[in-house]
Amino acid sequence: MKVLIPSALRSYTERGEADACGATLGAVLTDLERRYSGIRFRIIDEQDQIRRHIRLFVNGEQVHDLSQPLDAKDELVIVQALTGG
């Protein structure tokens, strides 16, 4: 599956796009962690929830559940909200 990586996380992947495998959103993020150590913690918190400033979109639709089923043809976009003032 194609995963689009925001610029704030590209220090892990060194590019704006990565490949990952998994039958669910959680499995895809686990595969990303296997390939790019440390990236999952920037997306998922200690309670295994998507962090407040992260939005995940599968084929253009926002998803909130790590058990969301995915297909190898899907596209996952990770969006990180801008903060500050």
* 27 sits in which H/E element: helix 25-35
Nearest CA among 8, 52, 1 for reference residue 29: 1
Residue 63 resides in a domain: yes
Average pLDDT over residues 12-19: 96
The conformation of residue 37, written as its DSSP 8-state character, comes to T
- How does pLDDT run across 39-66, given as a tens digit for each residue? 999 999 999 999 999 999 999 999 999 9
- CATH number of residue 54's parent domain: 3.10.20.30
The pLDDT assigned to 81 comes to 82
Residue 39's domain comprises 2-80
Collect all residues with Cβ–Cβ distance below 8 Å to 38 and sequence separation of at least 6: 12
**How many domains does the chain contain in total?**
1
Residue 18 resides in a domain: yes
pTM passes above 0.75:
yes
Residue 85 resides in a domain: no
Residue 74 resides in a domain: yes
What tokens were used for 57? 């979109």
Residue 85, pLDDT > 60, answer no
Band (pLDDT 50/70/90 cuts) for residue 83 is low
